[in-house]
Amino acid sequence: MINNKDTPFTIFHKELGARMISFAGFNMPIEYSGINNEHITVRERLGVFDVSHMGEFRIKGPHALEFVQRITTNDASLLFNGKVQYSCMPNGKGGIVDDLLVYRFNEETYLFIVNAANIEKDWNWCVTQAKEMGLKTGKDLINASDTMAQLAIQGPMAIKAMRKLTGYPVEDMEYYTFKEIEFAGIKDIIFSITGYTGAGGCEIYVKNENVSNLWQAILDAGEEFGIIPIGLAARDTLRLEMGFCLYGNDITEKTSPIEAGLGWITKFVDHKEFIDKEYFLKQKEEGVLRRLKGFEMLDRGIPRQHYEVVDIEGNLIGEVTSGTMSPMLKKGIGLAYLKKGFWQEDTEIFIRIRNKDLRARVVKPPFYKQ
């Protein structure tokens, strides 16, 4: 029997009557008041997510930037203190170990934020690569995942509400930046502006021992704006309306960033040598046979992962990686890998749902414009 970990906020989820599930080795809330209500609340007002299950790795020392440049596809030399970057880690076989956020504190200190389901795999990969570069685990590379908690407050009212809890002008912070500030009486929390919902908002990283009053302080600050707690189910529908990739669905060990439409975070510059650089450059120059594309349903139907995508004659042309009924658009939307020749916007495709081929069309995400 597997004993799942609690986050520092699990007690509050249970008190609020959340439906709990086992996810990535943690007891996590899947929903509280219903997916649609939670989703719409984030789009229109604000909600708070417990994302303490995410992983955090610290990279330190004079070779920190060299390590980040080697192990990730984006150009970390462009980062400045307080800047965040979206990137991915190639696996040396043309696929992706994980996608992640890279935080730069200074020229010798970086922080990786990795997906919860991949913490052990990512850590082992980082350790292997660090050893090859002469970095020492526990000194230059530190797994801080079990010592940190994280809450994400998302929605158009999020920053206004959170401003009550700090003397720092967080409303002036730019997208994909962070600051170490005092927040809700807690010193040295990491306050960042990234987001996985497209609705605006912030993330708060805090040491586990300092979380005691944080959950309630955030709910109190957001009460006048209609804040509610949000589960993982609405987190997934929110990210999908933006067309954001989910590891395990849209990107995997067998998909390349070029195929996944992540060429924009794959930087082929002379001063940066990274794992699989030559392979990905060849894909960029010569093209690929499949690409991750967005689509919306024209017929009534809800697309799901692994559903077949076919052409008008019923020939297999792809596979759905993520799909849902959009709470805002009231129509089925999804992402799918499609064969070459079906990538152009407005191209008609068919999603095979319960042995019926339902009409859909290729569209460019985001599906919903906030």
In this structure, are 161 and 232 located in the same domain? Answer: yes
Spatial contact of 105 and 55, defined as CB atoms under 8 Å apart: no
Residues for the chain: how many in total?
370
pLDDT band at 2 (very low <50, low <70, confident <90, very high): low
| Residue 317: CATH number of its domain | 2.40.30.110
Give residue 295's domain range.
289-363
Is residue 221 pLDDT above 90, yes or no?
yes
> Does some domain include residue 67?
no
Q: Stretch 233-251: mean pLDDT, rounded?
A: 98
Annotate 292-309 with b (16+ C-beta within 10 A) or e (fewer).
bbbbbbbeebbbebebbb
pLDDT tens digits, one per residue of 299-344: 999 999 999 999 999 999 999 999 999 999 999 999 999 999 999 9
Q: Stretch 258-270: mean pLDDT, rounded?
A: 98
> Does some domain include residue 259?
no
In this structure, are 226 and 298 located in the same domain? Answer: no
Compute φ and ψ for 184, nearest 5 degrees: 55, 35
In this structure, are 236 and 172 located in the same domain? Answer: yes
> Does some domain include residue 279?
no
